[in-house]
Amino acid sequence: MKKNIKYAFFIGAALLGGNSILTSCSDSYEIVQPGETHGEDITTVDGMNNFLIGSVYGLLEPTSANYLTAVVTDEVRQGIGSGGQEWQLHRHFIDPSDGYTGTIWVNNYTVINRVNRLLEMAEQITPATAAQATAYKRILGEARAVRAYCYLQLETYFSTDMKDENALGVMLVTTAPSDLNFSAPRVTNKVIYDFINADLDFARANVVTTGSNVNRFYINTSTVNAIAARFNLYRGNYPLAKQYAQSVLTSSGISLTTANPMTNGTSGPNIGSSAWNAAWYSASAAFTPYRRMWADLEGGEVIFGLNRLAPGSGNAIGTVYNTNTSTISGGVMWFWGVNTFNEFYGNTNDVRKYAYLDPSSLPYLSAHYYVIDKYPGKVGSATRNDVKVFRLSEMYFILAEAAVEAGDFAGAANYIQQVRVARAYTGTPTTPAYTSKQVAYKDILKERRIELALEGHRYIDLKRLAATAGVTMDRNAADDIEGFVSQNLPNGSYKYTLPIPLAEITANQGISGQQNPGYK
């Protein structure tokens, strides 16, 4: 780990602040990834590419943010296999020493630091051929898109108001410091936004254009546009959010992943029967496209994901919910939250009621033992799945919000309807009818809650949309198994913004006095 500390002062800051950050999901930045280097040996275009794969893509890890989002909101309830892990977060005891908050900060800045180092080393390299020159620009484009994504993640969790360009954002770091003597203040959102836009513009002009040979595990033009669409949605620039989301729909070459076929030649027509379950839930032969996407048997509608080989490095995303397997006997750390479960399980003829819930839950539904099966594992590992960072359904939701803001309620309803139709295995869901902005946003928020569950959206969605939609966080009283009053964060709570980690405050004098409101 010495090399990591030398080149990632953010980890050094964590060390200076104690071990709280290092005890939570530390493998997201302590494991040396395949191909990982530290910059000294980048002297060729091939070396740049190896560094990009091993030390940029290899360290990118949004799992901690996704997990924190699930635990803090209404997505999960405590499981029978838990030893109390993260129950304090579930009960909204959030403070600057929280390990997962620190990991989100450290991981994103570590990746930013690696990108900055790659860009600095690239200045010393001259491509020898036209092919190398193209590869050179592609590598820099992919790296800068990843950096833009990391800054978007940081803004999402640590900026109090992304729609206010003058609000305080995060630190802007454009170089790769080689020691721990670093001081950087937080800057306004606008400064960060200008930097993100510059990175995305460069990336869009230099990465691989979306096409038949595009690999979903590497940045391409659709990935860049997906980042831009989410970024502009969060900052309230709805015309640009619409433009970039539409570009993804038009140019990505992918479509919404469908529910059908829901039966095959061996399982018969009895959906939910033992024979059907055995075939449908097979790790190697699941036949429904939506299930195959979650079992990593095919890419489906994934625009960009992080490859998690079995075995391999990177967090095993399923392990945070089910220790061993996604079954009732698999060491269940967290069940589905009761009301979240009700939202998707009550939908007639909806593939998600099967894709999200393991059938071993069925004898125990009255006890609210709703085993999470959205991350069922893959062949060779019962807990490892690729991390789906951007999916096409999110682009439909972004277009729906943009339509609402433009007063086009029918258009917004149509975008939501298209997702629901794709998830229905029989019949046609009733098309929603929106009569006001509040009605529209309530339904959009409901569909985002179902479709994007456990993918890191619910926390920011409640912050962005709950008040406008006339709803709040929606925990059930049964979501705490010890009888603790399962509280919902009220709309507008300062806890919808995470605190700047104590380790950073302690180690970085430039950020002193810039803690987020409500935290000490």
Confidence of residue 40 (pLDDT cuts 50, 70, 90): low
Cα 520 to Cα 94, 99, 285, 514, 516, distances in angstroms: 11, 16, 52, 10, 8
- Mean pLDDT for 75-98 is 95
- Mean pLDDT for 103-128 is 96
The packing angle between helices 221-235 and 189-206, to 10°, is 160
Confidence of residue 482 (pLDDT cuts 50, 70, 90): confident
Q: List, for residues 275-316, the tens digit of each pLDDT value.
A: 888 888 887 878 899 999 999 999 999 999 999 988 878 889
Give which of 57, 159, 158 is closest to 105, Cα–Cα. 158
Q: List, for residues 43-52, the tens digit of each pLDDT value.
A: 999 999 999 9
Q: List, for residues 485-505, the tens digit of each pLDDT value.
A: 768 999 999 999 999 999 999
Confidence of residue 179 (pLDDT cuts 50, 70, 90): low
Strands 168-171 and 76-78, by their bridges, are: unpaired
| The predicted structure's pLDDT at residue 299 | 94
| The predicted structure's pLDDT at residue 388 | 97
Which region among 43-52, 115-124, 209-218 has the lowest average model confidence (pLDDT)?
209-218
| The predicted structure's pLDDT at residue 81 | 95
| The predicted structure's pLDDT at residue 28 | 34
Give which of 161, 257, 253 is closest to 214, Cα–Cα. 253
Confidence of residue 207 (pLDDT cuts 50, 70, 90): very high
The packing angle between helices 99-122 and 63-72, to 10°, is 160
Q: List, for residues 385-400, the tens digit of each pLDDT value.
A: 999 999 999 999 999 9
Exposed e or buried b per residue across 22-52, where buried means at least 16 C-beta atoms within 10 angstroms of its C-beta:
bebbbebbeebbeebbbbeebeebebbbbbb
The Cα 103–Cα 434 span in angstroms is 40
- Quick check: 184 pLDDT over 70? yes
| The predicted structure's pLDDT at residue 211 | 64
| The predicted structure's pLDDT at residue 270 | 85
Average of per-residue pLDDT values in the chain: 90
| The predicted structure's pLDDT at residue 213 | 62
- Mean pLDDT for 20-46 is 52
- Cβ–Cβ < 8 Å for 8, 110: yes
- Quick check: 7 pLDDT over 60? no
